[in-house]
Structure 1
Amino acid sequence: MPARAEAASAPDRTYLARQPLLDREGNLCGYELLVREDASNYAAIDDLRAATARVIKRVIGEIGIESVLGKHVGYLNVSREILLSDSFDVVAPDRFMLELPPDLHVDETLLQRLAELRAKRYRFVLDAITRPDETFALLLPFAEAIKIDVSRCHPETQTVLVRALKARGKTLIALKVETMAAFEATRKCGFDLFQGYFFAHPEILTTRRVHTPRHSLLRLLRLIELDPSLTEIEAELKRVPALTTHVMRMANLQACRHGPTSSTTLRDAISAIGTSRLGRWAQLLLYADDSIASLEHNPLAQLALTRARFMELAVDRMPDVDADDAECAFLTGVLSLVEAASGDSLDHTIRDFPVSDTVRAALLRREGVLGTLLSAIEALELGNWDRFDCIAEQIASPTTPNLAELAAQAAVWAGSADQSLSELERPHHGMPRSTAASAGVSGRL
């Protein structure tokens, strides 16, 4: 998402995306920042070098690492020119892994520079390795982690590399893991971290057991839609001890932050939270595990949160939008990934869910305003800049907000949405500029 939105006609637009890295349990543990100078020529290495330099100086130096990465580690592509420059004055060594490309020109000058940076606690990753060569051998002593392109590395070579590099204490990252089969194979092979189109193929996340009482959540959500009494909500929550415990914890967490009074009964907790927040909280728990722990390290939940907030922000700022669309935007984003979270089909899930025809059309057929916005955020997640631009043009009007900028706001919000119940409120037009300018998933500088 964009760190800073510029006019669409600006000739030097830079596209920024972040792609998640997951550990062996499927937990989110870092983001690689991907940058492209031009949507129509995004693979050009010269453009990549220039854009990376701009990301270092503008996104990291001006906006703030927390807004871009939250508490996670960032993986940043660097070129020889960047390594030899003074750009590292604004790069925090404890927050980034610096990725060295496989075609890096290595000489004594570069090796000396790498030694200097490592002495300052900078960490390096050898990127996109397919086979060992002279460059690999020269850079290996400086690398803490190795990314192996499993889509192009021969299986026998991959096995030998993993065994040898693990013996040397290196962290092994499987790059371009696109399918369930590839994920299982690389995990069995011994890789530590995994990167690829996990969110384009979210079924791989179903390898994590999801024990959240899903039917109880759906029942609670159906009840909330009927404008229930406090007694009815209390009775429903008492049917599921895990939900009762979490409601009490959430209410008391809010009390600690906003006042000295704590909730001593379930009824007090429900009153403190409020029906609206309780409903949104229940939606988000569709992505939680049996401990109903923090959503911060759950990659699928982070994606669903970002989608939901993006759609809500966009609809809330669009002219002549039907009131039903505005109310349904957040729910559409949340439900768009529930199939991956539950292992059940989307069609079957929403059959049991109190959704309107508007939401159903958006989810199943990408129809209407909500369907168009859902397609837009999906294009951003995949770094499909051309498709995103095409969709944005379809819904453009003089008062339509910059969708990429709203996607940035959504990503920042998603990173902290479970830290306070107040974050589950509906958006407001008067969002601070510092938040509006923060980077997260994809967009333009």
Structure 2
Amino acid sequence: MIDLSSDDAAKSLRVREFYLGRQPILDRNQALFGYELLFRNAPVGPAVIETPGLNATAAVLAHAAQLGVERTVGDAIGFVNVDADAIMSDIFGFLPREKIVLEVVETMEPTPEVLARMSELVSQGFRFSLDDVKADTPHVESMLQMVEYVKLSMRDMPVDRLMRLAPRFKQEGKKLVAEKVENRDEFKTCLDLGFDYFQGYYFAKPVIMSGKKLSPSQLAVMELMSLVTSDADNIDIERAIKKDVSLALNLLRLVNTPAVGARQRIDSLSQAVTILGRRQLQRWLQIMLYAEPSKRGHSMTPLLMLATTRGRLLELLAHKLRPSQHHVADIAFTVGIMSLMDTLFGIPMAEILTQIPVVDEVSEALMWRGGFFGDLLKLAECIERIEDMEHYIVPTLRDLAMSTDELVELEMAAFEWSDNVVRYAL
């Protein structure tokens, strides 16, 4: 096994270029349980220094761990993919075992050496997940006793096979994860079959309902947002906030989150309006739209998490690319957070844009993924769906003249910020 503690090894790891996807894993109540972290080697030029004796997966994982896996998963659990070479390497000193589940694919060759190493890692407190299980093969059987989670993919999985495999693994005491769940019907099927956890973007797909009306609280926030974006006096904005007591309290709680970065505690609405300014106030009202359904017992946390992460990532990207234009970063945040409002409200995006006045650039990005902001939004969406849309990321980064290292650093900052906000918002 290679020793990664030396300075030379650490330096050579830092030159590894990779990008990162973070896919939510939800429990039966659709609350956030964990993330699958998808580390992808970026295709780079010949100047990359390889870490001798350490394969690409292990090197990328060790590099990610040096950046801080905790920053990436917050309070949740991180599922990370490892192959046989990574299992046999000495990367595990880098990984926080209490925060991590090691994920192996069912096709991995379970040699006696690999099984012995898995057993050793389990005895050290690491947990394993068996990914993409399609049948109860001898390979699966040999690894089953060491794994805590079994993942079954909904893609290309016949329902009759699913109905046979799910009870079989439940009987063995395994926690079942349905992955690549793409719509509500698949979620319902897996729920009925007793699955414990669900991975996929079914929760972010709009279910459009004709004639759907916004709740009184959402309407109050929307009205307030139009006051904030117009030239209304601060006193009128304050008066409107005070009309809805829960709105006022929630807003005060949100503006005191560390994510706001205020130097002093904000104790009154007039202070909030004065200290934050219009653009910041608009941002927290947009976030409140996502937080509000959770307070009525609907689990919108993953949507809130996704929207705040998108908003922040777009803001950071815009700031990096156009540092002298502060308003551009503000617009980018709005595009990111509004991009999921059709799902939040169950109303077509075109209809939302008649209710929330936005500039043409925002409208073009939200409706057609067009223009500068549309490019940023497409990049964020591709990162979320890195398994299917990986080919789009590198050309986009090239167009934006940005390195993968810079992207990962911004992503991790966005993850951290979003986790912070959600903790205070709910």
One fold, TM greater than 0.5? yes
2 CA distance for matches of 1:86 and 1:187?
38
Report the Cα distance in structure 1 between the residues aligned to 2:234 and 2:42, rounded to whole angstroms.
Answer: 54
Name the CA shift for 1:204/1:168 in 2 (closer, same or farther; >3 Å).
farther
Structure 1 residue 155 corresponds to structure 2 residue 159: yes
Distance 1:367 1:261 in 2: 40
Higher relative contact order (CA 8 A, sep 6+): 1
Q: Distance in 2 between matches of 1:19 and 1:410?
A: 13
Q: Does 1:339 align with 2:342?
A: yes
Correspondent of 1:164 among 155, 168, 184: 168
Whole-Å separation in 1 of the counterparts to 2:219 and 2:74: 32
User: Alpha carbons of 1:393 and 1:83: their partners in 2 closer, same or farther (altered >3 Å)?
Assistant: closer
Q: 2:74, 2:222 → 1: CA distance? A: 30
**Aligned 8 A contact 1:131 1:153 in 2:** no
Match of 1:136 in 2: 140
Match of 1:114 among 109, 118, 134: 118
Equivalence for 1:442: none
Paired with 1:138 and 1:418, the residues of 2 have a C-alpha distance of 38
Measure, in 2, the Cα distance between the counterparts of 1:25 and 1:289: 17
What CA deviation, in whole Å up to 9, does each residue of 1:206-253 have, x standing for no partner? 9xxx96822211111110112433321222112322212212334566
The aligned counterpart of 2:205 is 202
2:61 maps to which residue? 56
Of residues 234-243 and 316-325 in structure 1, the stretch that sits farther from structure 2 once superposed is: 316-325
Matched, 1:387 2:392: yes
Indicate if the aligned counterparts of 1:16 and 1:35 stay in contact, CA closer than 8 A: yes
Secondary structure (helix, strand or coil) at the match of 1:97 reads: strand
1:348 aligns with 2:351: yes
Paired residue secondary structure (2:157): coil
Give 1:416's aligned amino acid.
W
Q: Distance in 2 between matches of 1:144 and 1:83?
A: 17
Please, what TM-score do these two structures have when normalized by structure 1? 0.77
2:312 counterpart residue number: 309
Preserved CA contact (<8 Å) 2:321 2:400: no
1: CA distance, partners of 2:374 / 2:417: 26
TM-score in terms of structure 2 length: 0.80
C-alpha separation in 2, matches of 1:342 and 1:301: 13
Residue 81 (structure 1) aligned with residue 98 (structure 2)? no
Structure 1: segments with no counterpart, 5+ residues: 1-9, 41-48, 424-445
1:226 counterpart residue number:
230
TM alignment of 1:60-75, pairs within 5 A: 60=65, 62-75=66-79
Amino acid in the other structure paired with 1:225: T
Q: Give 2:3's aligned residue.
A: none
Distance 1:36 1:314, change over 3 A: closer
* Contact 1:18–1:32 under 8 Å retained in 2: yes
Name which of 371, 374, 391 aligns with 1:371.
374
Structure 1 residue 73: deviation in Å? 0.9
**Cα distance, 1:168 vs. partner?**
3.4
Do structure 1's residue 33 and structure 2's residue 37 form an aligned pair?
yes
Query: Do 1:74 and 1:97's aligned partners in 2 also have CA atoms closer than 8 Å?
Result: yes
The structure whose residues are more often helix, as a share, is: 2
Determine helix, strand or coil for the equivalent of 1:36. strand
Report Cα offsets for 1:82-106 as digits up to 9, x if no partner.
2222221212211111112111222
SS in 1 for 2:321: coil
Alpha-carbon contact 1:24-1:192 (below 8 Å) kept: yes
Q: In structure 2, what is the Cα distance between the partners aligned to 1:92 and 1:19?
A: 19
Q: How far apart in 2 are the matches of 1:418 and 1:305?
A: 9
Give yes or no for the alignment of 1:328 onto 2:315.
Answer: no
Q: Distance in 2 between matches of 1:128 and 1:112?
A: 22
Amino acid at match of 1:176: K
Q: 1:285 to 1:392 in 2, by over 3 A?
A: same
Distance in 1 between the 2:262 and 2:370 partners? Answer: 41
Aligned to 2:417: 416
1:403: Cα distance to partner?
7.3
Amino acid at match of 2:142: L
C-alpha separation between the residues in 1 aligned to 2:222 and 2:273? 18
CA separation of 1:17 and 1:320: change in aligned 2, threshold 3 A? closer
The one-letter code of the counterpart of 1:412 is A
AA of the residue aligned to 1:385: E
Alignment of 1:150-299 (within 5 A): 150-198=154-202, 202-203=205-206, 213-250=217-254, 263=267, 266-268=269-271, 270-271=273-274, 273-292=276-295, 298-299=301-302
Alignment match, 2:130: 126
Structure 2 SS opposite 1:104: coil
Q: Deviations over 1:147-202 (max 9, x none)?
A: 01232333233223222332333211002212222122112221111112447x52
Paired residue for 1:405? 406
Tell me: CA distance 1:246–1:190, structure 2 relative to 1, closer, same or farther (3 Å): same
Assess if the C-alpha contact under 8 Å between 2:130 and 2:147 holds in 1.
yes
Shift of 1:138: 1.6
> RMSD of the TM alignment (CA)?
3.5
After superposition, the Cα gap between the structure-2 partners of 1:58 and 1:285, relative to the gap in structure 1 and judged at 3 Å, is same
CA offset at residue 143 of structure 1? 1.2
Any conservation in 2 of the 1:37–1:50 contact (CA below 8 Å)?
Answer: no
* Separation (CA, whole Å) in 2 of partners of 1:326 and 1:268: 24
- Distance in 1 separating the partners of 2:114 and 2:135: 22
Indicate if the aligned counterparts of 1:94 and 1:122 stay in contact, CA closer than 8 A.
yes
Could you tell me how far apart the structure 2 residues matched to 1:38 and 1:271 are? 45
C-alpha separation in 2, matches of 1:66 and 1:205: 36
Q: Structure 2 regions of 5+ residues with no counterpart? A: 1-13, 45-53
